[in-house]
Structure 1
Amino acid sequence: MKEKPGIATAIPRRRYRIGEFTLTVLGEIESTDGRSYRYIAAVINGQNPEPGMYITAEQGTAGQGVYDMRIILPDGADVIDQSERWSELDAFVEEVIRIVSRVLQLGDETPYQLM
């Protein structure tokens, strides 16, 4: 994954199980790639140690307090939204679960909070 976030340190904030996938949300991130992340969600399939998808809230170019939501997949990355809402953990997690469920076609799966 060529645009994988560079993480020096981070603190896990939430963890969910959605079907066979585990979703971990990180906060207080010190990055090694020059980006200013508010949150990073990493999606892991089964026992695979490497995430197959990331969704980030990072300081945007639109202005102070506005965060870009970026989805990172093995074949590339795109900013999919910009909002002040992505600075709030609950709003970020709610949207991430919706996106992950749609992208991975997990419509029938209920997310279970593990942490």
Structure 2
Amino acid sequence: MEAPKIQTAIPQRRYQFGEYTGVVLGEIESSDAVKYQYILALVREGEGKPGFYVTAEKNPRSRAHEGSHRLRVITHGLTEEIESSDRWADIDAFCEEAFAVAAKVLGLSDEQPERIA
């Protein structure tokens, strides 16, 4: 899995999502070439580290016409760009779409994310 190489980040929000605990990170410094706006990291109960990420990444100038940020899913066996949009610069829009994507990929369509902090 190509997990984000986070050096420092500030937790913005925490959620309970079915059997997962999620944290939305902002102000992210990483050793990746990627410039992250937000990262949703989901940890399954009983596991020590995230196994599922949704990221909002700044698009390079060459792709600015598609939107300022791109949404990407990273998990075991899957790294896929979902869509580019200016909306992913907004934390509320990012969280809404990130959890919708997570619900679809993880089969949690009956669950609603519950904000805990």
TM-score strictly above 0.5: yes
Shifted more, 52-61 versus 84-93: the winner is 52-61
Cα RMSD for the two superposed structures: 1.3
| TM-score under structure 1 length normalisation | 0.93
User: What is the one-letter code of the residue matched to 1:40?
Assistant: I
- What is the aligned-residue identity percentage? 44
- Between the aligned partners of 2:95 and 2:58, the Cα distance in structure 1 is 17
Query: How many residues were matched structurally?
Result: 114
Deviations 1:31-66 (A, max 9, x none): 111210000110110021111111100111311861
Structure 2 residue ranges without an equivalent (≥5): none
1:76-95 superposed matches below 5 A: 76-95=78-97
Q: Runs ≥4 in structure 1, deviation > 2 angstroms?
A: none
Listed as ranges, the matches of 1:70-109 within 5 Å are 70-109=72-111
Match status 1:15 vs 2:17: no
- Unmatched tracts of structure 1, length 5 or more: none
The answer to whether residue 28 in structure 2 is matched with residue 29 in structure 1 is yes
CA deviation map 1:53-93 (0-9, x unaligned): 11100111311861011100111311111000000000000
TM-score, reference length from structure 2 = 0.91
Bigger share in helix: 2
Task: Give the secondary-structure state (helix, strand or coil) at the position aligned to 2:112.
Answer: coil
